[in-house]
């Protein structure tokens, strides 16, 4: 079942939004794009906060908007985390949580406790919003959004106003939401790091139009320069910790079609992890190189070659089993080695970034 | 203070309480509308609401007198309803004071609502609060300082009015002779002692009303 289908149109002076998006029923869908691309507006349309928007929205089979029919915001079962926490200043933390709890249609038992536990705010309940730090406020805002028992969780750059330390404080909670909530989460951001770390699905927005949408591994391994997140191109792959080598402090990450060794960051065996492999860290050779310091050597098949940022460079997408990697190479190497679609090669992966609870990446 | 002085104080209190109660009921939705609307009528309506601030009370009183008279629209209305004409009655004073004190109710509340912005109401909407529910549970409690100021200003201003009262109400004991008129009578009769007693009472009570608002005013919280 689709989570959210939305065909929307909104015209303002100097800006128009025209989108057609399909969002899966579970997991985090990141809405990514430069500022002014309409990310927040799209989220507000889904929440019913833009009555001027026309089009259709259906969520988990329910019609929220179609033609003249417009379900008002307070009747849409969404949880909304605004960019600034926007807590009610006249209520305590507990009062803020109960506000939505009292008004939610289901008011399931344990909803409040679970939200409090998920956001880690048990010790803050009696506090006033003005006495909280920025990170605490945002966690309360997340818990508050969960207390309405939402069918969809909408998050508008929940980390953007926070410094790096506060971001690292909240990211693990977001990852827990991701693991534990069985509802679609729409997550607006302009941070490539948050996308790579959290998103399963990606909607790329530019000037009010959808540039591309799809699963994160699929979109990030495309060669089209228009759909990069900014910064270095690189593939994202999902795997599980297969083995931890205590002697050399390495962890083997198994993914469909192969395995990669990464520096052991203490993640337990069997846990699923996400790896980011930048194109500049992947080299291609026709024969398996001998006596190299590079640990990760994978048999791969070249699928497509495309342009890179510089005329001397090219990007190649190669498949290792069913998993795609990007490799950056010079055009000269591509020509002299005869690297072309269909060719069997060896991919040497110099460095792997493990997206783990500590934020950012780790390199072996 | 003689019996007539006490009667005028009682009349003043009744007038101020009636006007404050009615204006809070009428002014709140008006202030809310002015704070939220994008209508092209906002400007004209706001200007009309503010007119009593700048008009000489005699001007306002003069036109009200004409309107309430037997040939004015309010006069026709009262006649159609089978009521006595409004001029020189307590009811007439209430109607005149409602107009005269309107900006003192609406403006503090309007700025209290405007300073809240829309965000918290949107938050309330995403938490299943209907617009009325959001108003009662979020906007109104946050505007409490504005309500207090509006109440005190309306009350104190109604107590203190003179010109409009004189034009509409005249000087009828027990019906329209409010304290400010009574003071004028004392001064005109050169009875400065009596004027002092009544004027001092008004001065002290007005001061106490405004002081209590300052003391009760909740500490301003950051949103």
User: How do the domains of chain A map onto residue ranges?
Assistant: 2-216, 234-355
Give domain status of residue B209, yes or no.
yes
**Three-state DSSP class for residue A299:** strand
Place of tokens 């009744």: B14
- Cα–Cα–Cα angle for A268, A270, A273, rounded to 5 degrees: 80
pLDDT score at A352: 87
Number of compact structural domains in chain B:
1
Are A74 and B130 within 8 A, CB to CB? yes
Beta bridge partners of A303: none
Report CB contact under 8 Å: B126, A145.
Answer: yes
Architecture of domain A234-355: Beta Barrel (2.40)
Instruction: Starting at the earlier edge strand, list the strands of the sheet with A296-307.
Output: A282-285, A344-349, A296-307, A313-320, A323-330
Looking at the complex, report in whole angstroms how far the Cα of residue B79 sits from the nearest Cα belonging to chain A: 46
CB B61 within 8 A of CB B96: yes
User: CB A80 to CB B126 under 8 A?
Assistant: yes
Residue B106: give its domain's CATH number: 1.10.3720.10
Measure in Å the smallest separation between the Cα of A72 and chain B Cα atoms: 9
Q: Which H helix or E strand runs over A237? A: strand A234-245
Verify whether the Cβ–Cβ distance A88 to B128 is below 8 Å. no
Per-residue pLDDT, A356 = 61
Residue B64: inside a domain = yes
Residue in A49, A103, A128 nearest the CB of B122: A49
* Average confidence score pLDDT of chain B: 91
pLDDT level of residue B219 (50, 70, 90 thresholds): low
d(CA A85, CA B160): 45
Comparing CA positions, the residue from A44, A48, A36, A114 lying closest to residue A81 is A44
DSSP string, chain B: --HHHHHHHHHHHHHHHHHHHHHHHHHHHHHHHHHH---TTHHHHHHHHHHHHHS-HHHHHHHHHHHHSTTSHHHHHHHHTTPPPSTTSHHHHHHHHHHHHHHHHHHHHHHHHHHH-SHHHHHHHHTT--HHHHIIIIIHHHTHHHHHHHHHHHHHHHHH--HHHHHHH-S-TTTT--HHHHHHHHHHTT-HHHHHHHHHHHHHHHHHHHHHHHHHSPPP---
Listed in sequence order, the residues at least 6 apart from A163 whose beta carbon sits closer than 8 Å to its beta carbon are A134
pLDDT the model gives residue A364: 43
Specify if B158 maps to a domain: yes
B123/A75 touch (CB, cutoff 8 Å), yes or no: no
Question: Cβ(A342)–Cβ(A315) under 8 Å?
Answer: no
Chain A residues within an 8 Å CB radius of B142:
89-90
pLDDT of residue B222: 42
Does B58 fall in a domain? yes
pLDDT tens by residue, chain A, 364 residues: 678 999 999 998 889 999 999 999 989 999 999 888 999 999 999 999 999 999 999 999 899 999 999 999 999 999 999 998 999 999 999 999 999 888 886 656 788 888 898 888 999 999 999 999 988 999 999 999 999 989 999 999 998 878 888 888 888 888 888 888 889 999 999 888 889 889 999 999 999 999 999 999 889 888 887 677 777 888 998 889 999 998 999 999 999 989 999 988 888 888 888 889 999 999 999 998 888 889 899 999 999 999 888 899 999 999 999 899 999 999 999 999 999 999 999 999 998 888 764 334 444 4
Measured between CA atoms, the residue of chain A closest to residue B128 is: A74
pLDDT tens-digit map of B52-72 = 999 999 899 999 999 999 899
Q: Say if the Cβ atoms of A86 and B123 lie within 8 Å.
A: yes
CA nearest to A78 within chain B? B126
Residue B131 lies in a domain: no
Ramachandran angles phi, psi of A83, nearest 5°: -60, -50
Residues spanned by the domain of B201: 3-115+144-216
- Supply the pLDDT for residue B223: 39
Q: Which chain B residues have any C-beta within 8 angstroms of a chain A C-beta?
A: 119-120, 122-131, 133-134, 137-138, 141-142, 221-223
Q: Can you say whether the dihedral through the CA atoms of A195, A200, A206, A208 is positive or negative?
A: negative
Among B116, B206, B191, residue whose Cα is nearest residue B161: B206
Distance CA A227, CA A33 (A): 10
Confidence (pLDDT) at B2 = 86
Domain A2-216 has CATH 3.40.50.300: yes
Report yes or no: A251 and A268 within 8 Å, Cβ to Cβ: no
Of B122, B127, B138, the CB nearest to A100: B127
Query: Cα Rg for chain A, rounded, in angstroms?
Result: 22
Domains A2-216 and A234-355 in one fold: no
pTM of the model: 0.84
Residues on chain B touching A99 (C-beta within 8 angstroms): 124, 127, 129, 137
In the predicted structure, residue B221 carries a pLDDT above the cut 80: no
State pLDDT tens for residues B177-204: 899 999 999 999 999 999 999 999 999 9
Question: What's the pLDDT band for B139 if we cut at 50, 70, 90?
Answer: very high
Q: How far apart are CA A129 and CA A113, in angstroms?
A: 19
Does residue B138 lie within any of the structural domains?
Answer: no
């Amino acid at each position: 079942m689709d989570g959210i289908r939305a065909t929307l149109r909104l015209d303002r002076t100097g800006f128009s939004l025209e989108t057609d998006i399909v969002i899966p029923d579970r997991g985090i869908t990141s809405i990514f794009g430069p500022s002014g691309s309409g990310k927040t507006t799209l989220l507000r349309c889904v929440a019913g906060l833009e009555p001027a928007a026309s089009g259709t929205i259906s969520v988990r089979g329910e019609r929220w908007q179609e033609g003249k029919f417009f379900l008002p915001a307070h009747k849409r079962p969404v949880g909304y985390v605004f960019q600034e926490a926007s807590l009610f200043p006249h209520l305590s933390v507990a009062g803020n949580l109960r506000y939505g709890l009292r008004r939610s249609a289901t008011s399931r038992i344990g909803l409040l406790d679970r939200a409090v536990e998920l956001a880690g705010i048990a010790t803050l309940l009696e506090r006033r919003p003005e006495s909280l730090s920025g990170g605490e406020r945002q966690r309360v805002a997340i818990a508050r959004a969960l207390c309405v028992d939402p069918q969809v969780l909408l998050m508008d750059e929940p980390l953007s106003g926070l410094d790096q330390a506060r971001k690292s404080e909240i990211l693990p909670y977001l990852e827990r939401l991701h693991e534990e909530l069985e509802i679609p989460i729409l997550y607006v951001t302009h941070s490539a790091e948050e996308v790579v770390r959290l998103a399963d699905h990606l909607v790329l927005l530019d000037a009010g139009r959808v540039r591309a949408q799809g699963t994160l591994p699929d979109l990030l391994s495309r060669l089209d320069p228009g759909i990069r997140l900014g910064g270095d191109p690189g593939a994202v792959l999902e795997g599980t910790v297969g083995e931890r080598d205590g002697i050399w402090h390495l962890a083997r990450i198994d993914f469909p079609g192969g395995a990669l060794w990464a520096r052991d960051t203490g993640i337990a065996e069997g846990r699923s992890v996400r790896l980011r492999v930048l194109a500049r860290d992947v080299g291609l050779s026709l024969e398996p190189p001998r006596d190299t310091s590079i640990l990760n050597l994978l048999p791969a098949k070249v699928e497509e070659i495309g342009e890179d940022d510089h005329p001397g460079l090219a990007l190649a997408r190669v498949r290792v089993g069913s998993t795609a990697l990007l490799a950056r190479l010079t055009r000269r190497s591509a020509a002299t080695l005869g690297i072309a679609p269909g060719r069997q090669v060896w991919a040497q992966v110099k460095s792997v970034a493990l997206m783990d609870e500590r934020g950012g990446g780790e390199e072996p | 203070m003689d019996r007539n002085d006490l009667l005028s104080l009682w009349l003043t209190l009744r007038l101020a309480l009636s006007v404050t109660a009615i204006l809070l009921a009428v002014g709140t939705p008006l202030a809310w509308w002015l704070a939220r609307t994008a209508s092209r009528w906002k400007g004209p309506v706001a200007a009309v609401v503010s007119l009593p601030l700048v008009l000489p009370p005699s001007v306002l009183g003069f036109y009200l007198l004409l309107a309430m008279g037997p040939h004015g629209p309010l006069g026709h209305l009262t006649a159609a309803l089978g009521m006595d004409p409004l001029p020189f009655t307590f009811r007439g004073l209430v109607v005149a004071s409602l107009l005269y004190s309107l900006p003192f109710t609406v403006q503090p509340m309007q700025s209290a609502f405007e300073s809240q912005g829309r965000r918290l109401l949107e938050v309330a909407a995403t938490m299943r609060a209907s617009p009325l529910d959001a108003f009662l549970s979020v906007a109104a409690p946050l505007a409490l300082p504005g309500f207090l100021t509006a109440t005190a200003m309306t009350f104190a201003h109604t107590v203190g009015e003179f010109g409009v009262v004189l034009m509409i109400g005249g000087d009828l004991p027990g019906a329209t002779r409010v304290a400010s008129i009574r003071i004028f009578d004392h001064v005109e009769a050169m009875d400065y002692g009596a004027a002092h007693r009544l004027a001092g009472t008004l001065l002290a009570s007005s001061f106490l009303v405004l002081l209590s608002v300052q003391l009760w005013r909740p500490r301003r919280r950051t949103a």
